[in-house]
Protein backbone atom coordinates (compact mmCIF):
# COMPACT_ATOMS: atom_id res chain seq x y z
CA UNK A 1 0.00 0.00 0.00
CA UNK A 2 1.52 3.33 -1.06
CA UNK A 3 0.83 6.26 1.25
CA UNK A 4 1.34 9.44 -0.77
CA UNK A 5 1.06 12.07 1.92
CA UNK A 6 1.14 15.39 -0.03
CA UNK A 7 -2.15 17.16 -0.74
CA UNK A 8 -3.86 16.22 2.50
CA UNK A 9 -6.29 18.91 3.69
CA UNK A 10 -5.09 19.22 7.29
CA UNK A 11 -5.57 22.51 9.11
CA UNK A 12 -2.49 24.16 10.63
CA UNK A 13 -2.07 23.33 14.31
CA UNK A 14 0.43 24.34 16.96
CA UNK A 15 3.74 22.80 15.96
CA UNK A 16 5.60 20.61 18.46
CA UNK A 17 8.61 22.10 20.21
CA UNK A 18 11.16 20.64 17.81
CA UNK A 19 9.80 22.91 15.06
CA UNK A 20 9.45 26.16 17.02
CA UNK A 21 11.79 29.03 16.33
CA UNK A 22 11.84 32.80 16.31
CA UNK A 23 12.28 35.41 13.59
CA UNK A 24 10.35 33.94 10.69
CA UNK A 25 10.99 36.32 7.79
CA UNK A 26 9.16 37.03 4.52
CA UNK A 27 5.84 35.66 5.84
CA UNK A 28 3.97 38.96 5.65
CA UNK A 29 0.36 38.80 4.42
CA UNK A 30 0.00 40.54 1.08
CA UNK A 31 3.74 40.64 0.41
CA UNK A 32 4.53 40.65 -3.30
CA UNK A 33 6.48 37.85 -4.90
CA UNK A 34 10.11 38.92 -5.20
CA UNK A 35 11.69 37.17 -8.20
CA UNK A 36 14.83 39.31 -8.05
CA UNK A 37 15.68 38.22 -4.49
CA UNK A 38 19.28 37.00 -4.26
CA UNK A 39 20.67 36.25 -0.81
CA UNK A 40 21.78 33.16 0.98
CA UNK A 41 19.11 31.94 3.37
CA UNK A 42 18.61 29.18 5.87
CA UNK A 43 15.47 27.07 5.82
CA UNK A 44 14.13 24.99 8.70
CA UNK A 45 12.80 21.67 7.39
CA UNK A 46 10.92 19.07 9.36
CA UNK A 47 8.00 16.72 9.71
CA UNK A 48 6.07 14.79 12.34
CA UNK A 49 4.15 11.78 10.98
CA UNK A 50 2.43 9.26 13.22
CA UNK A 51 0.66 5.98 12.51
CA UNK A 52 -1.27 3.32 14.34
CA UNK A 53 -0.14 -0.07 13.09
CA UNK A 54 -2.48 -3.07 13.69
CA UNK A 55 0.30 -5.66 13.14
CA UNK A 56 4.02 -5.34 12.45
CA UNK A 57 4.60 -4.13 8.90
CA UNK A 58 7.64 -3.40 6.69
CA UNK A 59 7.85 0.24 5.54
CA UNK A 60 10.04 2.08 3.03
CA UNK A 61 10.30 5.84 3.62
CA UNK A 62 11.67 8.57 1.34
CA UNK A 63 11.90 11.35 3.91
CA UNK A 64 15.48 12.56 3.55
CA UNK A 65 16.72 15.53 1.58
CA UNK A 66 17.97 14.38 -1.83
CA UNK A 67 21.69 13.48 -1.95
CA UNK A 68 22.25 16.31 -4.44
CA UNK A 69 21.52 18.78 -1.60
CA UNK A 70 23.52 16.97 1.08
CA UNK A 71 26.33 19.54 0.88
CA UNK A 72 23.88 22.30 1.83
CA UNK A 73 22.75 20.70 5.09
CA UNK A 74 23.78 22.59 8.24
CA UNK A 75 22.43 19.94 10.63
CA UNK A 76 22.14 16.15 10.43
CA UNK A 77 19.29 14.89 8.27
CA UNK A 78 18.17 11.73 10.03
CA UNK A 79 14.84 9.96 10.04
CA UNK A 80 14.03 9.45 13.71
CA UNK A 81 11.63 6.70 14.72
CA UNK A 82 9.80 6.24 18.03
CA UNK A 83 9.84 3.63 19.42
CA UNK A 84 13.35 2.97 18.16
CA UNK A 85 13.70 0.38 15.40
CA UNK A 86 16.66 -0.52 13.24
CA UNK A 87 16.79 1.14 9.81
CA UNK A 88 18.49 0.08 6.63
CA UNK A 89 19.54 3.00 4.42
CA UNK A 90 19.93 2.46 0.69
CA UNK A 91 19.86 4.39 -2.58
CA UNK A 92 17.16 3.36 -5.03
CA UNK A 93 17.48 3.12 -8.81
CA UNK A 94 16.58 6.82 -9.20
CA UNK A 95 19.27 8.03 -6.79
CA UNK A 96 16.91 8.72 -3.87
CA UNK A 97 17.92 8.00 -0.28
CA UNK A 98 15.52 5.48 1.27
CA UNK A 99 15.00 4.02 4.75
CA UNK A 100 13.65 0.50 5.25
CA UNK A 101 12.41 -0.73 8.62
CA UNK A 102 9.75 -2.88 10.25
CA UNK A 103 7.18 -0.91 12.23
CA UNK A 104 6.01 -2.82 15.31
CA UNK A 105 2.34 -3.15 16.16
CA UNK A 106 0.94 -0.08 17.92
CA UNK A 107 1.82 3.62 17.71
CA UNK A 108 4.86 4.76 15.72
CA UNK A 109 6.25 8.22 15.06
CA UNK A 110 8.49 9.32 12.18
CA UNK A 111 10.03 12.75 12.64
CA UNK A 112 12.93 14.98 11.78
CA UNK A 113 14.09 18.58 12.08
CA UNK A 114 17.06 19.89 10.11
CA UNK A 115 18.46 23.10 8.71
CA UNK A 116 19.60 23.70 5.14
CA UNK A 117 21.35 26.57 3.41
CA UNK A 118 19.81 27.80 0.18
CA UNK A 119 20.96 30.31 -2.42
CA UNK A 120 17.78 32.39 -2.06
CA UNK A 121 17.53 32.50 -5.87
CA UNK A 122 14.39 31.72 -7.82
CA UNK A 123 14.24 28.50 -9.82
CA UNK A 124 16.87 28.52 -12.58
CA UNK A 125 15.54 29.10 -16.08
CA UNK A 126 16.82 29.46 -19.63
CA UNK A 127 14.28 30.47 -22.26
CA UNK A 128 16.74 29.42 -24.97
CA UNK A 129 17.21 25.86 -23.64
CA UNK A 130 16.76 23.39 -26.48
CA UNK A 131 15.09 20.01 -26.72
CA UNK A 132 17.57 17.22 -27.45
CA UNK A 133 16.74 14.68 -30.20
CA UNK A 134 16.06 11.25 -28.75
CA UNK A 135 19.06 9.78 -30.58
CA UNK A 136 21.36 12.13 -28.65
CA UNK A 137 19.79 12.01 -25.19
CA UNK A 138 21.86 10.58 -22.32
CA UNK A 139 20.84 6.93 -21.81
CA UNK A 140 19.71 7.54 -18.22
CA UNK A 141 17.02 9.97 -19.42
CA UNK A 142 15.32 7.55 -21.83
CA UNK A 143 13.14 5.89 -19.18
CA UNK A 144 11.49 9.27 -18.63
CA UNK A 145 10.06 9.18 -22.16
CA UNK A 146 7.93 6.09 -21.46
CA UNK A 147 4.48 5.50 -20.06
CA UNK A 148 4.28 4.86 -16.32
CA UNK A 149 1.63 4.04 -13.73
CA UNK A 150 0.11 7.56 -13.66
CA UNK A 151 1.34 8.96 -16.99
CA UNK A 152 -0.19 7.21 -20.02
CA UNK A 153 1.96 8.55 -22.83
CA UNK A 154 0.44 6.20 -25.41
CA UNK A 155 -3.10 7.42 -24.65
CA UNK A 156 -2.25 11.13 -24.63
CA UNK A 157 0.20 11.37 -27.55
CA UNK A 158 -2.39 12.46 -30.11
CA UNK A 159 -3.78 15.07 -27.74
CA UNK A 160 -0.30 16.44 -26.99
CA UNK A 161 0.49 16.65 -30.71
CA UNK A 162 -2.75 18.53 -31.40
CA UNK A 163 -2.21 21.00 -28.56
CA UNK A 164 1.54 21.56 -28.71
CA UNK A 165 2.99 19.78 -31.74
CA UNK A 166 3.09 22.88 -33.93
CA UNK A 167 5.01 24.94 -31.37
CA UNK A 168 8.73 25.57 -31.64
CA UNK A 169 10.54 22.95 -29.55
CA UNK A 170 12.39 23.90 -26.39
CA UNK A 171 11.76 25.79 -23.18
CA UNK A 172 8.80 27.76 -24.50
CA UNK A 173 6.94 24.60 -25.47
CA UNK A 174 7.36 23.15 -21.99
CA UNK A 175 6.16 26.44 -20.55
CA UNK A 176 3.15 26.33 -22.87
CA UNK A 177 2.32 22.88 -21.46
CA UNK A 178 2.50 24.26 -17.91
CA UNK A 179 0.32 27.21 -18.89
CA UNK A 180 -2.31 24.95 -20.47
CA UNK A 181 -2.49 22.58 -17.49
CA UNK A 182 -2.53 25.45 -15.00
CA UNK A 183 -5.35 27.21 -16.85
CA UNK A 184 -7.49 24.18 -17.69
CA UNK A 185 -7.34 22.05 -14.54
CA UNK A 186 -9.16 23.12 -11.36
CA UNK A 187 -7.34 22.54 -8.08
CA UNK A 188 -9.15 21.24 -4.99
CA UNK A 189 -8.41 18.83 -2.12
CA UNK A 190 -11.87 17.35 -2.67
CA UNK A 191 -10.62 16.07 -6.04
CA UNK A 192 -7.87 13.93 -4.49
CA UNK A 193 -7.98 10.33 -5.67
CA UNK A 194 -5.00 7.96 -5.27
CA UNK A 195 -5.84 6.12 -8.50
CA UNK A 196 -6.30 9.21 -10.71
CA UNK A 197 -4.05 9.17 -13.78
CA UNK A 198 -2.99 11.84 -16.25
CA UNK A 199 -5.72 10.73 -18.66
CA UNK A 200 -8.32 11.03 -15.86
CA UNK A 201 -7.10 14.55 -15.14
CA UNK A 202 -7.34 15.50 -18.81
CA UNK A 203 -10.92 14.20 -18.97
CA UNK A 204 -12.11 15.55 -15.59
CA UNK A 205 -10.08 18.78 -15.58
CA UNK A 206 -9.76 18.57 -11.76
CA UNK A 207 -7.06 17.43 -9.38
CA UNK A 208 -4.55 18.11 -6.66
CA UNK A 209 -0.89 19.07 -6.96
CA UNK A 210 0.40 15.72 -8.14
CA UNK A 211 -2.34 15.44 -10.80
CA UNK A 212 -1.23 18.71 -12.42
CA UNK A 213 2.32 17.38 -12.62
CA UNK A 214 1.28 13.96 -13.98
CA UNK A 215 -0.63 15.53 -16.87
CA UNK A 216 2.22 17.90 -17.73
CA UNK A 217 4.71 15.02 -17.56
CA UNK A 218 2.59 12.89 -19.89
CA UNK A 219 2.32 15.74 -22.41
CA UNK A 220 6.09 16.32 -22.34
CA UNK A 221 6.92 12.64 -22.80
CA UNK A 222 4.41 12.46 -25.66
CA UNK A 223 6.55 15.09 -27.41
CA UNK A 224 9.81 13.20 -26.72
CA UNK A 225 10.85 15.53 -23.89
CA UNK A 226 12.19 13.56 -20.90
CA UNK A 227 10.12 14.46 -17.83
CA UNK A 228 10.23 13.12 -14.30
CA UNK A 229 8.17 13.60 -11.15
CA UNK A 230 9.75 15.38 -8.17
CA UNK A 231 8.77 15.86 -4.56
CA UNK A 232 10.22 17.88 -1.72
CA UNK A 233 9.80 20.95 0.47
CA UNK A 234 8.41 24.22 -0.89
CA UNK A 235 7.31 26.74 1.72
CA UNK A 236 5.64 30.14 1.50
CA UNK A 237 8.96 31.92 0.97
CA UNK A 238 8.81 35.21 -0.98
CA UNK A 239 5.13 34.61 -1.73
CA UNK A 240 2.03 35.62 0.25
CA UNK A 241 1.24 32.94 2.87
CA UNK A 242 -1.98 30.98 2.52
CA UNK A 243 -4.38 29.29 4.91
CA UNK A 244 -3.58 25.89 3.37
CA UNK A 245 -1.72 23.53 5.71
CA UNK A 246 2.01 23.16 5.22
CA UNK A 247 2.76 20.04 3.23
CA UNK A 248 5.33 18.34 1.09
CA UNK A 249 5.11 19.57 -2.48
CA UNK A 250 5.18 18.05 -5.96
CA UNK A 251 6.63 19.47 -9.17
CA UNK A 252 8.28 17.98 -12.25
CA UNK A 253 11.61 18.26 -14.05
CA UNK A 254 12.39 18.17 -17.77
CA UNK A 255 15.66 17.50 -19.53
CA UNK A 256 16.56 20.36 -21.88
CA UNK A 257 19.94 21.36 -23.33
CA UNK A 258 22.23 19.48 -20.91
CA UNK A 259 20.44 19.34 -17.55
CA UNK A 260 17.20 18.87 -15.61
CA UNK A 261 15.02 21.95 -14.98
CA UNK A 262 12.21 22.37 -12.44
CA UNK A 263 8.72 23.23 -13.70
CA UNK A 264 5.49 23.41 -11.73
CA UNK A 265 2.16 23.16 -13.53
CA UNK A 266 0.23 23.70 -10.30
CA UNK A 267 1.76 27.01 -9.14
CA UNK A 268 3.19 27.96 -12.55
CA UNK A 269 5.58 30.60 -11.27
CA UNK A 270 9.27 30.71 -10.29
CA UNK A 271 9.75 30.02 -6.58
CA UNK A 272 12.42 30.45 -3.92
CA UNK A 273 13.52 27.77 -1.48
CA UNK A 274 12.66 24.58 -3.35
CA UNK A 275 14.35 21.62 -1.61
CA UNK A 276 14.33 18.33 -3.49
CA UNK A 277 13.72 15.03 -1.70
CA UNK A 278 13.15 12.50 -4.49
CA UNK A 279 12.55 12.03 -8.22
CA UNK A 280 10.97 9.18 -10.19
CA UNK A 281 8.75 8.26 -13.10
CA UNK A 282 5.63 9.40 -11.24
CA UNK A 283 4.19 9.56 -7.71
CA UNK A 284 4.49 5.79 -7.30
CA UNK A 285 8.28 6.00 -7.21
CA UNK A 286 8.47 8.79 -4.63
CA UNK A 287 5.75 7.92 -2.12
CA UNK A 288 6.70 9.46 1.23
CA UNK A 289 6.02 6.11 2.86
CA UNK A 290 5.21 2.77 1.29
CA UNK A 291 3.87 0.20 3.72
CA UNK A 292 3.57 -3.49 2.89
CA UNK A 293 0.51 -3.98 5.07
CA UNK A 294 -2.00 -1.82 6.93
CA UNK A 295 -1.08 1.48 8.57
CA UNK A 296 -3.45 4.16 9.87
CA UNK A 297 -2.29 7.75 9.65
CA UNK A 298 -3.14 9.69 12.82
CA UNK A 299 -0.96 12.83 12.59
CA UNK A 300 0.83 14.63 9.76
CA UNK A 301 2.75 17.91 10.08
CA UNK A 302 5.37 19.52 7.86
CA UNK A 303 7.39 22.70 8.32
CA UNK A 304 9.53 24.56 5.79
CA UNK A 305 10.32 28.18 6.62
CA UNK A 306 13.13 30.63 6.20
CA UNK A 307 14.75 31.49 9.51
CA UNK A 308 17.11 34.16 10.77
CA UNK A 309 18.09 32.32 13.91
CA UNK A 310 18.90 34.25 17.02
CA UNK A 311 17.09 31.67 19.10
CA UNK A 312 15.92 28.28 17.91
CA UNK A 313 14.32 25.53 19.95
CA UNK A 314 15.22 22.09 18.67
CA UNK A 315 14.72 18.58 19.93
CA UNK A 316 17.31 17.31 22.39
Specify which residues 116 forms β-bridges with. 43, 73
Q: What confidence score (pLDDT) does residue 14 get?
A: 37
Q: Which residues are CB-neighbours of 50 under 8 A, at least 6 positions away?
A: 107, 108, 109, 110, 297, 298, 299, 300
Would you call the peptide bond into 83 cis, given omega within 30 degrees of 0 as the criterion? yes
Confidence class for position 240, pLDDT limits 50, 70, 90: confident
CATH hierarchy code of domain 2-121+287-307? 2.60.40.2250
Q: Cα separations (Å) of 167 from 7, 10, 23, 127?
A: 32, 40, 47, 14
pLDDT digits (tens, 9 = 90+) for 73-120: 999 999 999 999 999 999 999 999 999 999 999 999 999 999 999 999
Q: What pLDDT, on a 0 to 100 scale, did the predictor assign at position 109?
A: 98
Average pLDDT, the chain: 88
Confidence of residue 35 (pLDDT cuts 50, 70, 90): very low
Phi-psi domain of 43 (left: phi exceeds 0; alpha: psi -120 through 50; beta: other):
beta
pLDDT at position 236 over 80? yes
Nearest CA among 215, 211, 216 for reference residue 195 = 211
CATH class of 134-285: alpha beta
In the chain, what are the domain boundaries?
2-121+287-307, 134-285
> Cα 103 from chain centroid?
25
Model confidence at 163: pLDDT above 90: yes
Q: Return left, alpha or beta for 293; rule: phi > 0 is left, psi -120 to 50 is alpha, else beta.
A: left
Contact of 19 with 297, CB cutoff 8 Å: no
Beta strand 259-263 with 206-207 is unpaired
pLDDT band at 312 (very low <50, low <70, confident <90, very high): low
Average pLDDT over residues 217-230: 98
* pTM for this prediction: 0.86
Q: What percent of the chain has pLDDT over 90?
A: 80
Least confident of 137-141, 183-187, 281-285, 312-316: 312-316
Residue 121 confidence class, pLDDT cut points 50, 70, 90 = very high
The pLDDT of residue 1 is above 90: no
Amino acid sequence: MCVNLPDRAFRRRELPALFRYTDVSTRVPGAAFAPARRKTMRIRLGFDIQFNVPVAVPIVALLNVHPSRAGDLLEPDRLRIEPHVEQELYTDSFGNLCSRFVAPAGWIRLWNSTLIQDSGDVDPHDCAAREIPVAHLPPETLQFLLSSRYCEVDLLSNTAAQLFGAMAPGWQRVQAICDWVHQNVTFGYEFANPTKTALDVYRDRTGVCRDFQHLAIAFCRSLNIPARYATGYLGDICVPPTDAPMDFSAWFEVYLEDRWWAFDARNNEPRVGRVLMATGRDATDVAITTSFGETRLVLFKVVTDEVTARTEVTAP
